[in-house]
């Protein structure tokens, strides 16, 4: 297969057949989806979110019961339970730890690495990427603002030029707006060792998200997935990309309410940020678990406009890889004319 050489670095890093990561989605990336992703040959990430440590421990154990394939755990560094989650994950010898939400402290990277885990961090800027590499991260994820959930400020096409083409110290995975094998092939030819996707995996039969959640995805277009605004630098919320609904308006009102509390000294900045994270955890659960697609949070990347069918995970992965292979053959033929 033409992809063998391109696959090698990402495959060896993740320990799976295909260097395709299923991004961690709170209330979506549970033990059922993550184990199924592993069995299909890709690499799943359990979403720590703001999950109590007992629940996250159970998710890790349940995943291990369902598959012997490797998987990782994604931790949100601004979540209230973050430190407790990190302690527990290190104790459980998880092979890969992904830090998300914001960048981790150097001592937290060292702590995860000392537990035997490979560490992966998101890098939204060149300066931060170099800092994370110096602190010991084993790999980076470049996630464009086209992605769903918590996002950075820069589009993937720019990040590729700023970081992928410049940094050679560690392997780099890319994410944001990816839903086809053709795109995967071109990104790996550019130098990426693998990709991360989320929205596409929501549309798998194995994903336990509510049917109404998936149906909303099927009907949506790329422009329907919009990013939340930041009203004031005193409340530096990380933008979230989701499908616009009544829940989006609720979040706007929450920000204004928290800013009023900050003005009155009723809450500090960290407390306000924690309130924001609690909102998203609850709103996302309402949509994913309960099927409240009006008031809940419909986190989705702009690639939602590229997916309109629910398929088995094995089919999704095979279609992705086959299309990538065909794309490489086509490119080779064009170059050799």
More confident residue, 312 or 79: 312
pLDDT at 336 over 90: no
**pLDDT at position 101, please?**
82
End-to-end CA, the chain: 21
pLDDT at 102 over 70: yes
Residue-wise pLDDT for 117-158, tens only, equals 999 999 988 889 999 999 999 999 999 999 998 888 899 999
Q: Residue 130 burial (CB < 10 Å; 0-12/13-18/19+)?
A: middle
Two tokens at 265?
Answer: 């000294």
**pLDDT at position 65, please?**
97
Per-residue HEC secondary structure of the chain comes to CCHHHHHHHHHHHHCCCCCEEECCCCCCCCHHHHHHHHHCCCEEEEECCCCCHHHHHHHHHHHHHHCCCCEEEEEECCCCCHHHHHHHHHHCCCCEEEEECCCCCHHHHHHHHHCCCEEEEECCCHHHHHHHHHHCCCEEEEECCCCCEECCCCCHHHHHHHHHCCCCCCCEEEECCCCCHHHHHHHHHHCCCEEEECHHHHCECCCCCCHHHHHHHHHCCHHHEEECCCCCCCCCCCCEEEECCHHHHHHHHHHHHHHHHHHHCCCCHHHHHHHHHHHHHHHHHHHHCCCCCCCCCCECCHHHHHCCCCECHHHHHHHHHHHHHHHHHHHHHHHCC
**pLDDT at position 1, please?**
55
Q: Which residues pair with 149 in a beta bridge?
A: 241
CA distance 42 to 178: 15
Residue-wise pLDDT for 37-54, tens only, equals 999 999 999 999 888 999
In sequence order, the 6+-apart residues with CB closer than 8 A to the CB of 302 are 146, 148, 177, 222, 223, 225, 241
Range with the poorest average pLDDT among 91-95, 190-194, 238-242: 238-242
pLDDT at 280 over 90: no
Residue-wise pLDDT for 215-273, tens only, equals 999 999 999 999 988 777 777 777 889 999 998 888 888 888 888 888 888 888 878 87
CA distance 115 to 328: 39
Q: How far is CA 235 from the centre of its chain?
A: 23
Residue-wise pLDDT for 51-72, tens only, equals 899 999 999 999 999 999 999 9
Q: How confident is the model at residue 276 (pLDDT cuts 50, 70, 90)?
A: confident
Q: Domain 3-209+309-335 belongs to what topology?
A: TIM Barrel (3.20.20)
Cβ atoms 33, 204 nearer than 8 A: yes
Single pTM value for the model: 0.92
Q: How confident is the model at residue 177 (pLDDT cuts 50, 70, 90)?
A: very high
pLDDT at 179 over 70: yes
**pLDDT at position 49, please?**
85
**pLDDT at position 99, please?**
97
Q: Is the dihedral of CA 189, 192, 194, 199 positive or negative?
A: negative
Q: How confident is the model at residue 2 (pLDDT cuts 50, 70, 90)?
A: low
Range with the poorest average pLDDT among 2-16, 170-184, 265-279, 287-301: 265-279
pLDDT at 3 over 80: no
CA distance 306 to 223: 11
What are the residue ranges of CATH 3.20.20.70 in the chain? 3-209+309-335
CA distance 112 to 224: 37
**pLDDT at position 300, please?**
95
């Amino acid at each position: 297969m033409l992809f063998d050489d391109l696959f090698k670095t990402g495959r060896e890093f993740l320990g799976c057949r295909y260097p395709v990561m299923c991004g961690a989605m709170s209330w979506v990336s549970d033990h059922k989806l993550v184990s199924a992703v592993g069995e299909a040959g890709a690499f799943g990430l359990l979403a720590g979110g703001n999950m109590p440590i007992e629940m996250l421990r159970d998710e890790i154990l349940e995943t291990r019961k369902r598959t012997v394939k490797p998987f990782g755990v994604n931790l949100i560094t601004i979540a209230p339970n973050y430190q407790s989650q990190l302690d527990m994950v290190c104790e459980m010898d998880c092979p890969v730890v992904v830090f998300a939400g914001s960048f981790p402290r150097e001592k937290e990277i060292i702590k995860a690495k000392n537990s035997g885990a490979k560490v992966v961090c998101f890098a939204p800027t060149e300066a931060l990427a170099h800092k994370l590499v110096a602190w010991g991260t084993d790999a980076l994820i470049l996630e464009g603002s086209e992605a769903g959930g918590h996002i950075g400020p820069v589009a993937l096409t720019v990040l590729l030029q700023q970081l992928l083409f410049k940094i050679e110290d560690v392997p780099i995975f890319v994410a944001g707006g990816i839903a086809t094998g053709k795109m995967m092939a071109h990104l790996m030819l550019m130098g990426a060792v693998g990709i991360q996707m989320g929205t596409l995996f929501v549309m798998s039969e194995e994903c336990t998200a509510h049917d109404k959640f998936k149906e909303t995805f099927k009907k949506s277009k790329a422009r329907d997935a919009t990013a939340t605004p930041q009203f004031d630098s005193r409340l530096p919320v990380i933008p979230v990309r989701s499908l616009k609904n009544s829940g989006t308006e609720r979040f706007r009102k929450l920000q204004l309410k928290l800013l009023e509390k900050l003005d009155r000294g009723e809450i500090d900045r960290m407390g306000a940020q924690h309130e924001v994270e609690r909102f998203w955890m609850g709103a996302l659960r309402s949509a994913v678990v309960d099927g409240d697609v009006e008031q809940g949070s419909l986190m989705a990347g702009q690639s939602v406009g590229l997916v309109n069918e629910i398929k088995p995970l094995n089919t999704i992965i095979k279609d992705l890889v086959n299309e990538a292979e065909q794309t490489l053959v086509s490119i080779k033929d064009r170059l050799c004319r």
